[in-house]
Every structure is written in C-alpha cells, then in structure tokens.
Amino acid sequence: MPAVGMVIVGGGECGARAAFALREGGYAGPVTVIGAEPHLPYERPPLSKEAMAADEEPAPKTIASAARLASANIVVLPDTAAEAIDPEARTVKLVDGVITHYDKLLVATGSESRHLPLAGPPGGRIAYLRTFDEAVRIRRALAAQRHVVIIGGGFIGLEVAASARRRGASVTVIEALSRVLSRVVPEEIAAVVDARHRAAGVKIHCGIGVARIEEDAHSVAITLSDGHHLGADFLLIGIGAVPVVNIAEVAGLHVANGIVVDERLRTSDPHIYAAGDCCSFPLSIYGGRRVRLESWRNAQDQGGLAARNMLGANEAISTLPWFWSDQYDLTLQIAGLPDEGKHTVRRALGDDAFILFHLADDGRLVAASGIGRGNIVAKDIRLAEMLIAERAYPDPTQLGAPGVKLKTLLAA
C-alpha cells in the first residue's frame, strides 16, 4: 500500500501556500502538489504588470525555489494534470495513469479565462491572459507602432492596457457595460482610472459589444455591435474568469459558481477541502453571503486556512475580501464588498487621492475603497479593514474628516 498523505490538486499560489502551511502545522507525512503548468508554483499578479512592462525578459516569480520545496519535503509534480478523484477510494488519478492515495485532499484548481466563442481558439494574434506562458506571448506583441485591442475593461484588461502603453503600443479597450471596472469598483473610482487611461492615450469605448472577429496572418479585424470596424495587430480578450471545477463535479462534489465549501473550506465530502479561486464560500460578516473571489490575498489566506483545517484546527474564515490594482502611477485598493453599502462617505487624502467608506443602512462600516498615487491609500484602507472586521459603527462625520485619524476611531 503506497504511503498515504496530503494531496493538493493545483500548483498555484493557494496550493503552494497550503503545502508549506501543512509543514508549519507540524505535519510530517507525504505532501504532494499536482500542477498542470510546467513551472513551479508562481505568483500571478505580476503577469499583467511587471512581466509585461519590465525592460528585462520576465521569469516566473516563484513562490519557493526547488531547493526550498525539497528542504520542506514537498513533492511538486509540474506539467501533470489530475484526471479524476475517487472519493470512496480516496485517490487521485493522473493523466499518465498514476494513482495517488490521500488522507485529506485539497482542490485548489483556481480559475481559467472566460472564452469569447466568436473569437475561436486562442493562438496567432488572439490571446487570453492566465498563465506565465501566455504573458510571455502577449509581451512580445506589445511593441511600438503596434495597435493592441483589448476586449474587456476589468482589472486584467486595464492592467495590460497600462503595460502596453509603457511599451509604446497604441491601445483600444472595448467594454460591453456602461463603464470600466463595473464588477467591484465604485463608479467614482472607476472614473479616475478611466480618465488616467485616456490621458495616457488609451481609447476606451463603453456600452458596446463585439459582433465579429476575423483573423489572418497579418492582423485582426473586429466588427463592433454598432457596425464600426477596428483593425488590430493583436487582440487580448479579458472578459473575466470561470472556476475550474470539472474534476470536482465529476467526483460528485457540490458545485455552484465554484466548488461549494462551508466556512471551514470543507466540501460535501469530509475528506476533501477546496480553496482559492475555484470555491464559493460563506462570509459570516455579511450574514453568510456566499461569494467566490479571484484574489491573490484570498488564495494566500485560504491556502493556509485549508491546511490548518486539514490538520484538525476547525477554524472558520475570518479574513475580509481585499483587492488591489496598480495602473500607471495609481494604486486602487478595496477592503470588503462595496455593494453591501447603502451610503457612502468620502474622505479626501490630498494629491487627488481619496477613500470612499461604504456604510450599511444601520450605519455599520461594510467596505472601503481608495485610489491615489503610490501607496497613499494603503494605511487608511488597512485601518478601515480592521474597523470592518470589528463590525464598527463609526461616526460618518469623523470618517469624512481628513484631520480625524482612523486609528482613533478603531480605538473607540
């Protein structure tokens, strides 16, 4: 009988953090991380930023070196896809036919790019951005005198747009909804981002769809829903992501907008956990509202939480949603879920930076959104995050007064 240990399906941020957390929790048995990509686990946020815009040729920003993984006795199987989970036998079958037994299993398969059917398969002059290899291919297309069209005005599309302008390419962004960053970013902050892109020379068209995409060896022709035509040297499609759940669904796990887990990241099978982009989970601070987050910090936090619970900690989710994006000289940060708020209080920080505090009907602080140059909003967003976690009811007048330190509200 093979040694039975902890198995992690998914070689990204979440899976790697979970593997190290198992060791930090004192687990001495086998730990195996199964990753479909050919690289060791790496961070994804740089793919749309440094990997695109840096002068030097990029390399994956690995979470740990091969030597560190070996010293922790963590076995990583890169370029190895998991084909099936057998919950009764507690095994994972790999595409090469190898069967791996587990005591506890963590599914951390993440998400993948949402595809636009009318664009056909990626390749040639059409791309999506999810992996390091895709980032390298896109980077090569971002050059002076080239026109890049980006379908999708979300975080990925706009971050790549900023990187493309830094590399000298001309950029056009097409967004089907009425404004950019419509999913989680308040309109006032989205307007600042929109204006910054336009000032950098990006053409942005909102409220319009794409009717046809045609590619040849030299260019891509895009027909918009209003009949206008655009020509591009390269087309990036960034219309969101979908959770990778097929292996869990076939295994009989409960799936609904991700693998369904409880507040301890347990799936419908007691020996299987799920964490990161691929799972939907309840947030007690928002009355048990179920969410699925595509977030670097969420992947980090849930990797550690899942590992501790696999070892018997029985610990509930306590961290808040947190997002950030760097575009040009601007940094945007959001703590909590702004759509939970019914009223907004604005605090000016100077140098055109500001924070929006989102309050529920009863006055409880439920989210905070900020934007400014560099890290000007970071400290106050962190303090706001602590206030949200404390379920605080701060005085709106004090929230909006730049002279009142948030730390004093936290102490109160």
Spell out a b/e string for 185-199, using b for 16 or more CB atoms within 10 Å of the CB, else e: bbeebbebbbebbee
The H or E element containing residue 124 is none
Q: Please tell me the predicted confidence (pLDDT) of residue 390.
A: 96
Spatial separation of the C-alpha atoms in residues 276 and 273, rounded to whole Å: 11
User: Are residue 135 and residue 225 in the same domain, yes or no?
Assistant: yes
Q: Please tell me the predicted confidence (pLDDT) of residue 143.
A: 82
Residue 304 has pLDDT above 80, yes or no: yes
Residue 245 has pLDDT above 70, yes or no: yes
Look up the CATH number of the domain holding residue 264: 3.50.50.60
317 inside domain:
no
40 inside domain:
yes
Spatial separation of the C-alpha atoms in residues 117 and 393, rounded to whole Å: 47
Nearest to 175 by CA among 199, 197, 151, 157: 151
Tell the residue number behind the tokens 């390298």, with chain if given: 136
Q: pLDDT tens-digit profile of 184-241?
A: 899 999 999 999 999 999 999 999 999 999 999 899 999 999 999 999 999 999 999 9
Mean pLDDT for the chain? 95
Backbone angles phi, psi at 114, to 5 degrees: -75, 125
Between residues 1 and 154, the one the model is more confident about: 154
Tell the residue number behind the tokens 């998400």, with chain if given: 111
Which pLDDT band holds residue 3 (cuts at 50, 70, 90)?
A: low
365 inside domain:
yes
211 inside domain:
yes
Helix, strand, or coil (residue 168)? coil
User: Are residue 271 and residue 379 in the same domain, yes or no?
Assistant: no
Q: Please tell me the predicted confidence (pLDDT) of residue 2.
A: 57
User: 90 in the Ramachandran plot: left (φ > 0), alpha (ψ -120 to 50) or beta?
Assistant: left
Domain-ending residue, one of 239, 267, 282: 239
Angle of helix 296-310 relative to helix 13-24, nearest 10 degrees, comes to 40
User: Are residue 278 and residue 359 in the same domain, yes or no?
Assistant: no
Look up the CATH number of the domain holding residue 374: 3.30.390.30
Q: What average pLDDT score do residues 274-293 get?
A: 97
Q: Please tell me the predicted confidence (pLDDT) of residue 411.
A: 82
- Judge contact between 44 and 87, C-beta under 8 A: no
324 inside domain:
no
Q: Please tell me the predicted confidence (pLDDT) of residue 122.
A: 84
Residue 1 has pLDDT above 60, yes or no: no
Which pLDDT band holds residue 55 (cuts at 50, 70, 90)?
A: confident
User: Are residue 172 and residue 218 in the same domain, yes or no?
Assistant: yes
User: Are residue 97 and residue 194 in the same domain, yes or no?
Assistant: no
Spatial separation of the C-alpha atoms in residues 209 and 58, rounded to whole Å: 33
CB atoms within 10 A of CB 201: 11
Tell the residue number behind the tokens 């037994």, with chain if given: 101
Q: Please tell me the predicted confidence (pLDDT) of residue 144.
A: 80
- Judge contact between 366 and 354, C-beta under 8 A: no
User: Are residue 92 and residue 124 in the same domain, yes or no?
Assistant: no
Q: Mean pLDDT: which of 42-56, 61-75, 134-148 is highest?
A: 61-75
315 inside domain:
no
Q: Please tell me the predicted confidence (pLDDT) of residue 124.
A: 87
- Judge contact between 300 and 287, C-beta under 8 A: no
Q: pLDDT tens-digit profile of 62-89?
A: 999 999 999 999 999 999 999 999 999 9
Domain membership of residue 352 as a residue range: 329-411
- Judge contact between 259 and 280, C-beta under 8 A: yes
323 inside domain:
no
User: Are residue 163 and residue 145 in the same domain, yes or no?
Assistant: yes
Query: What's the structural domain count of the chain?
Result: 3
Q: Please tell me the predicted confidence (pLDDT) of residue 42.
A: 96
Spatial separation of the C-alpha atoms in residues 236 and 263, rounded to whole Å: 36
| pTM, rounded to two decimals | 0.95
Sequence-distant (≥ 6) Cβ neighbours of residue 17 within 8 angstroms: 63, 299, 300, 303, 304, 307
Q: Please tell me the predicted confidence (pLDDT) of residue 183.
A: 86
Q: pLDDT tens-digit profile of 220-231?
A: 999 999 999 999
User: Are residue 44 and residue 189 in the same domain, yes or no?
Assistant: no
- Judge contact between 64 and 40, C-beta under 8 A: yes
User: Are residue 225 and residue 249 in the same domain, yes or no?
Assistant: no
Q: pLDDT tens-digit profile of 85-121?
A: 999 999 999 999 999 999 999 999 999 999 999 998 8
